[in-house]
Amino acid sequence: MNIDLRHLRCFLAVAEEGGFTAAGRRLHLAQPTLTRNIRTLEESLGVRLFERTTRRTELTNKGTTLLRAVAPLLRQLESALKDVQKGEKLRIGFSWGLPEGLSRIAARFGEATGVGVEFTRCETPQAGLDTGQVHLGLLRGAPLPKGLRGVLLYEESRIAAVPASWQLAERTRLEWAELASLPLVITDLGSLG
């Protein structure tokens, strides 16, 4: 059989949520991915686990049998994995400011996994990934150095601060080239404290 934990987790979510849409939200999966996982599980077992209509999704008798057997096992496994992870930290490096709301996301991640999140300011080109200080880095700019894989989280605006008496202060939009000859001030946060 070609069954792994992701197939069983998808099955459990669809069974408990009563449908693919809600299960997809719970697992943060697109519905086609979730559907493929359920189809693979059903094909591997050689049985139909759900009766699907356009209005509802219900467990078959075989699905109910599998749910009763698998649900306590998955919960026990997740509990054991969380116990092993307790006290562990996911270190996230950054070299500029942290995106708004990241601490709330980190707190939810900690509650869900039992793994705490530690943010580390790193003054290295890859926010600590290049030195092994962190597990994950929040980087700005592209392209990524060879050996790193990234996911675009968001795009942000840049602000140029100039004295009010300067001609540029009257403008609401500037091109990078217009700033090239001006002095640039960069503050090392470590020197502020």
Q: What is the pLDDT of residues 120-178, one digit of tens each?
A: 888 777 888 877 788 888 887 767 778 788 888 777 777 778 888 988 888 888 887 88
pLDDT at 190: 43
Q: How far apart are CA 159 and CA 174, in angstroms?
A: 9
- The pTM of the whole model exceeds 0.85: no
Domains and CATH numbers, the chain: 5-85 (1.10.10.10), 89-138 (no CATH)
- Per-residue pLDDT, 60: 95
Greater confidence (83 vs 91) lies with 91
Q: What single string gives the DSSP state of each residue in 35-72? A: HHHHHHHHHHHTS--EEE-SS-EEE-HHHHHHHHHHHH
By the 8 A CB rule, do 81 and 53 touch?
Answer: no
pLDDT digits (tens, 9 = 90+) for 26-50: 888 888 999 999 999 999 999 999 9
Provide the 10 A C-beta neighbour count for residue 23. Answer: 23
Which sign does the torsion angle of CA 176, 180, 184, 190 carry? positive
